Amino acid sequence: MRSTLSWQAGRAGAALRRTSLRRRELRADDIAVRVDYCGVCHTDLHAVRTHTGDAPLVPGHEFTGVVTGLGREVTRFALGDQVAVGNIVDSCGECAMCQAGQENFCHEFPTLTYGGTDRHDGTSTLGAFSREYVVRDEFAYPLPAGLDPAAAAPLMCAGITVWEPLRALGVGPGARVAVAGLGGLGHLAVKLAVALGAETTVVSRSAGKAGDTRRLGGHDLIVSADQRQMAAARDRFDVVIDTIAVPHDVAPYLKLVALDGTLSLVGHLGAVTVQATDLLIGRKKLSSAGSGGRPATAAMLEFCAQHGITADIELLPSARVNEALDRLARNDVRYRFVLDLSDLPQNR
C-alpha cells in the first residue's frame, strides 16, 4: 500500500483533521497523481456536515496535479504530466450509457472520487483533500497548456456540471440563456454560455451582482425579488440553467422559459414540486444533468483552454480547509475555494 497525507472528516460537525491514509498499489491501468490543487464544493460541505464517522471520509473531487507513478499498461501519460481529475473515477464500461460516452449515467452507477465503492476490491474511495490520489488513467485528463492549474481545478466538477446541459441543449450563437444563481456553478455557466455565443443573463436575488455579471461577460441582470423584472422577462429564454444550491420554488424560473425551451436544474437535486400547467403553457421542459462523461469532459477542457476560461477562485493553504468550509456555508466566497495541498507535509 502507498502512504500519503490527507484532511479527514470526523463525526458530523467536527473539524477535518490531518492524518495519513493508505492508497492502493498501482494497478496496470492506474496512475498516481500528486495533488496540487483541489476545489471545495458544496458536495464536500454536505458530506462533512452529515458524516456519521462510521467510515473514513476524505472529501475533494475536483483537482489538478502531476503524474508521479504509472501502471505497467499506461501509455496515455508520462511522469511529470499535468493532469486534471473530476468526480468520477470509474464505471462499468459496458452498459449503454458507458458505451455512449456517458459514464456519468452508468447503469451500475459510476465510482465516485470519494464516498464511492472501488469496483475491484470493494473499499471506499477517499478523495483529493490529500497529497496523492491513485486513479484509472482513463478517468484522468491532460491539463491543457495555458490553463492555470489552481483555477482549472473547479472545472472538473462545477465546470462540467454546467457544460453538460449547455451542450446537450444546443446552446450556441443566437441562443438566449439565463443563469439562475451566481455562485460556484453559476459564474462558470455564464462564462461558458458567453463563449458559446449565447446572449446570457444572470438571475439573482441581489442587484449588487450587476458588476460581476458584466465582468463575466453577461449581457443583463434580472433581480429575482423584483416581480416587475421577472414579469417582463416571461417567456424570454431558450435555456435557463438553475444553479441555486438550496431548496426553492422553480415555478418563477419556468415562467422565464420560452416556447419549447428548457429549465435545467443542476444546483439543488432534491425533491421538486411542479404544476403541470407551468410546463403545458409554452410546451416547456424540465430537465437536469450531472457531471459528464469522458468525451464531454475532455471537450470542455479543450474549449476552456481555447477561450481562456477558468474559475474565479480564492486560493487557500490546505491547513485552512475548515475555514473554507465554514465560509462556504455562509456563501462567503467569490466564487470557488481552492486548496493548495503543498502545505500538507508541514502540517504535522
DSSP 99-119: HTT-GGG-TT-PEESSSSB-T
pTM of the model: 0.95
Same domain, 169 and 180: yes
Same domain, 252 and 298: no
- DSSP, collapsed to helix, strand or coil, labels residue 343 as helix
Same domain, 213 and 333: no
Q: Which three cell numbers stand for residue 71?
A: 501502471
Same domain, 39 and 98: yes
For 225, counting Cβ atoms within 10 Å of its Cβ (0-12 exposed, 13-18 middle, 19+ buried), the class is: exposed
Cα(211)–Cα(221) distance, integer angstroms: 9
The residue behind cell 504509472 is 70
The model's pLDDT over 279-331, given as tens digits with 9 standing for 90+, comes to: 999 999 999 988 999 999 999 999 999 999 999 999 999 999 999 999 999 99
| CATH number of the domain encompassing residue 77 | 3.90.180.10
Please state the domain count of the chain: 2
Cα(61)–Cα(111) distance, integer angstroms: 12
Domain range for 126 is: 2-157+292-346
Same domain, 276 and 316: no
Same domain, 234 and 297: no
Low-confidence ranges of the chain (pLDDT < 50): none
The residue behind cell 456540471 is 161
* Domain termination site, one of 288, 316, 335: 288
